[in-house]
Chain A
């Protein structure tokens, strides 16, 4: 009883403190224009992040505008440089780094964006000009109709039984992420050489039916055109739940890396104050935990505690969870196109 009372009091106090902070910030009004990914991401983000934020900050209106891809977002931001209509952009980390370097994005104020304190160093990019907020793991999708024994390792891609049965779009971020994974399996450091990874790719290359699955890497599994597809976890989990479980997701024991999404305050934003409040919310443990549960994107906030079930669906087995890697994204940005070129020329082209 007393324990309960204490808990209640503590909770009440916490609420009061939080309430005071909210009350103070709640005076802020304005519109935050957010541009970001489209599709299911957009739906989830609007439903679980934006709505929750707007409830806490009735004076702020958040408008979400989906963009086809980060390159297009970047083009738009470049076009609007100096006089942006966009306040916050959600973009791929590679694009985020370039945008930050070009001064298209602004450094965040740690006093406003207090949740930066809970954000790990690797995620605070270019002096807080670009902040990683979620990660979508690279995984091997398999068709539950044709594959009886789900793959467990990246090495399974080399299994001759999958000859002509693999879809692998590697000439983009997927390939760039796979390189450090395969490199680590070979015991090499991606900052020194990627030859082992290229060699590993060439080992499973003969199994690949298409290097450019159409319409995308999920549909070819759903349709049975291939057995395995190297693809992103988040959307695959969603499709697994909504499309009769045809798509199975294997998170290899060697661990994986997430395609990292960043949140960025646009330089010259006319609603910078409201925008930073929104970013702070987006980086909060609450928002990240919710988004992880709803969309199976890995959280970045270090205080988020995921349930076993959610962790399993994002990262795979305990072993895989322990093997999960992060990348030095600014370094990756410098080698991004070179790596893609090497994959194109040494693995895919004319083979």
Chain B
């Protein structure tokens, strides 16, 4: 291939990328920059004025309440990610390894919940976990409990619902990250004297780790940025950055503060992504 050919190809490549880049620029980069700008200005009607100030960040950083909210958000994200990953892993592993002709159907089934919105599924969980919900109703009918157990309107409920809502994402991320899994490697390990448990620990688990980490990251990011489920299932008690951003933006109408909080969330994302990249590199090195 000659140099001019390559240049031509690059031109075509750029041309092909252009619509995507434009869309990304308009729908993502521009609003993000606007948000960044807003976080440095003073609250004004329906948005922010053109002034420059660090007051919003000072408000956030100097307020122990927001540190608690940030800590709570981290806790929420980690809890949801840990459980979503642990619960999704066997499913994803089965789907990745099965040779059943139903594999396609089963995979579709596992990710089918994505077809309904998270809001709808959250309401479903409210029906299941509420004081008069399916679980409490059953336990009471069986006379196992007298008064309902508080399963919703708190951190527990918000966590349970979020775990289930994000599991399809975890399964998808794992399936895409299980590329290095290969039954022949398991057979090779078995031939070398590894029993099933050892095959799992020494071969399947390490090789599926990139998928697991990707899934954990995805779930974590989605969990800490969520506000619908924490709000609906948390009974107003679950204070995470997502709900705080929503509160500041729509109730208190302090958009710059909301923007600063959103930036804090973004910093949280970025640091997690840096950790993720390090971890992945360490795994693949």
Contacts and interface: CB of A to CB of B under 8 A. Distances in A.
A76 B47 CA distance: 11
Nearest to A104: B45
Contacts of A209: 131, 153, 235
Interface residues of A, number: 36
B135 to A, nearest CB: 15
Contacts of B19: none
A289 interface: no
A336 interface: yes
B132 A225 contact: yes
B253 A74 contact: yes
A121 to B, nearest CB: 25
A75 interface: yes
B225 interface: no
Contacts of B251: 71, 171-172, 340
B46 A340 contact: no
B236 A210 contact: yes
A303 interface: no
A78 interface: yes
Interface in B142-191: 147-148, 150, 153
Contacts of A351: 237
Given A71-B250, A164-B131, A224-B132, A211 B45 contact: no
B9 to A, nearest CB: 44
A99 interface: yes
Nearest to B153: A210
A102 B253 contact: no
Interface in B227-265: 231-232, 234-237, 239, 247, 250-254
A74 B239 contact: no
B77 interface: no
Nearest to B126: A214
B65 interface: yes
Given A75-B46, A77-B46, A214 B247 contact: no
Contacts of B150: 164
B236 A337 contact: no
Q: Tell me what chain B mostly uses at the interface: helix, strand, loop, or mixed.
A: loop
A209 B150 CA distance: 9
B211 interface: no
B41 to A, nearest CB: 14
A169 interface: yes
A98 B49 CA distance: 14
Interface string A310-342: 000000000000000000000000001100110
Nearest to A75: B46
A21 interface: no
B123 interface: yes
Interface string B37-48: 000000011110
Interface centre among A74, A209, A340, A351 (most CB of B within 10 A): A209
A210 B72 CA distance: 19
B237 A348 contact: yes
A341 B66 CA distance: 12
A263 B91 CA distance: 57
Given A69-B250, A172-B251, A212 B232 contact: yes
A164 B251 CA distance: 25
Contact of B247 (A102, A171, A350): A171
A100 to B, nearest CB: 10
B65 A345 contact: yes
A211 B239 CA distance: 11
B68 interface: yes
Contacts of B237: 211, 348-351
A330 to B, nearest CB: 15
Interface centre among A95, A172, A349, A351 (most CB of B within 10 A): A349
A2 interface: no
Contacts of A340: 247, 251-252
A337 B65 contact: no
Contacts of A212: 231-232, 234-236
Contacts of A5: none
Contacts of A99: 45
Interface in A48-87: 69, 71, 74-79
A79 to B, nearest CB: 7
A340 B150 CA distance: 26
B231 A74 contact: no
A208 B236 CA distance: 10
Contact of A71 (B153, B234, B239, B253): B253
A25 B267 CA distance: 60
B236 A169 contact: yes
Nearest to B250: A71
11 contacts: A104-B45, A164-B147, A172-B251, A210-B236, A212-B234, A212-B235, A214-B232, A215-B123, A340-B251, A349-B65, A349-B237
Interface of A: 69, 71, 74-79, 95, 98-99, 102, 104, 164, 169, 171-172, 208-212, 214-215, 224-225, 336-337, 340-341, 344-345, 348-351
Given A164-B131, A214-B126, 15 more contacts: A71-B251, A75-B47, A76-B46, A78-B45, A98-B45, A164-B148, A172-B251, A208-B235, A209-B131, A211-B237, A214-B232, A337-B252, A344-B247, A349-B68, A350-B239
